[in-house]
């Protein structure tokens, strides 16, 4: 599938400018089954028209305008698209690198979306320079970008021979988890050692990304196919019961199960005829 540019502008670091394009790095629609709403009785698909309650009629798109309501019930402040396009934001067309940091300073909870950065013809050399510099110094560049009605905090880092841009959540957008922290309890030395042993048994040398698939998508696809063929739909497996048991016993059983699964199955040799 060909990449489609979603933003065009300039990245600046110091007085160096790099004309670039952005492309979404994630194939969000690749494995998505779209479900719609239907009327049970006649099975017609439900329509959701843009409706004006005062005029009691459906509206065309050219009759609709965005706006802001100062307070409930007050007359709205209507905004033209030209108003939004002329907001005095430098980051609308320019990503200025304002600081550079070590990668580990960004907590993973801050990462939102990912975009590939492509250099336009005139920006190829400064693009390579920025890419190589970030690779050698193992740093991440920070800046801001205005896109889809929001000014995002962004991070730029090297990725597989190109520059990758991440949008980040602002500090005030991340909720404080203080109220759901677990209560303090005594964990025995043996329980701690068994938990570490379990983690070590489960540890892989490399993250096997290809091992994981969207099982919800696969299950939904099978359900639709079964309904089309008027086949019996398999029953949902019962969720495991949560029982109060000795944690040590459960961890020992878990470790034994993992170690058993790691033992390769020996194939029986075929006898020569």
What is the pLDDT at residue 79?
A: 84
CB-CB neighbours of 123 under 10 Å: 20
pLDDT above 90: residue 32: no
Given a contact cutoff of 8 angstroms between Cβ atoms, the answer to whether 195 and 251 are in contact is yes
What contacts 122, CB < 8 A, 6 or more positions away?
19
Please choose, from the candidates 30, 16, 3, the residue with its C-alpha nearest in 3D space to the C-alpha of residue 116. 3
Lowest mean pLDDT across 30-44, 54-68, 143-157, 195-209? 30-44
Please choose, from the candidates 8, 14, 28, the residue with its C-alpha nearest in 3D space to the C-alpha of residue 118. 8
Instruction: Give CA–CA dist 117/131, Å, rounded.
Output: 11
146-182 pLDDT, tens per residue?
Answer: 887 789 999 999 999 999 999 999 999 999 999 999 9
CB-CB neighbours of 138 under 10 Å: 11
What is the pLDDT at residue 268?
A: 44
DSSP 14-76: TTEEEEEEEEE-S-TTTT------B-TTT-PBP----EETTTTEE--GGG---EE-SSTTSPP
37-47 pLDDT, tens per residue?
Answer: 887 888 888 87
């Amino acid at each position: 599938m060909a990449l489609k540019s979603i933003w065009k502008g300039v990245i600046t670091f110091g007085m160096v400018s790099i004309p670039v394009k952005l492309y979404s790095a994630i194939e969000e629609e690749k494995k998505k089954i779209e479900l719609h709403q239907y009327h049970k009785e006649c099975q017609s698909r439900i329509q959701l028209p843009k409706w004006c309650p005062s005029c009691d009629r459906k509206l065309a798109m050219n009759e609709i305008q965005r706006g802001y309501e100062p307070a409930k019930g007050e007359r709205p402040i209507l905004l033209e698209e030209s108003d939004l396009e002329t907001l005095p934001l430098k980051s609308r067309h320019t990503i200025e690198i304002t600081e550079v940091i070590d990668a580990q300073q960004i907590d993973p909870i801050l990462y939102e979306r990912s975009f590939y950065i492509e250099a336009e013809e005139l920006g190829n050399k400064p693009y390579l320079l920025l890419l190589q510099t970030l690779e050698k110094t193992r740093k991440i560049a920070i800046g801001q970008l205005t896109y889809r009605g929001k000014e995002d905090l962004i991070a730029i880092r090297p990725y597989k021979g190109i520059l990758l841009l991440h949008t980040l959540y602002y500090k005030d957008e991340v909720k404080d988890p203080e109220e759901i922290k677990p209560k303090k309890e005594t964990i025995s030395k043996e329980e701690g050692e068994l938990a570490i042993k379990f983690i070590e048994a489960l540890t892989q040398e490399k993250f096997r990304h290809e091992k994981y698939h969207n099982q919800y998508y696969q299950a939904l696809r099978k359900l639709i196919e079964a309904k089309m063929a008027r086949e019996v739909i398999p029953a949902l497996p019962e969720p495991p019961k949560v029982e109060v048991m000795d944690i040590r016993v459960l961890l020992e059983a878990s470790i034994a199960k993992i170690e058993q699964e790691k033992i390769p199955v020996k194939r029986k040799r075929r006898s020569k005829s």
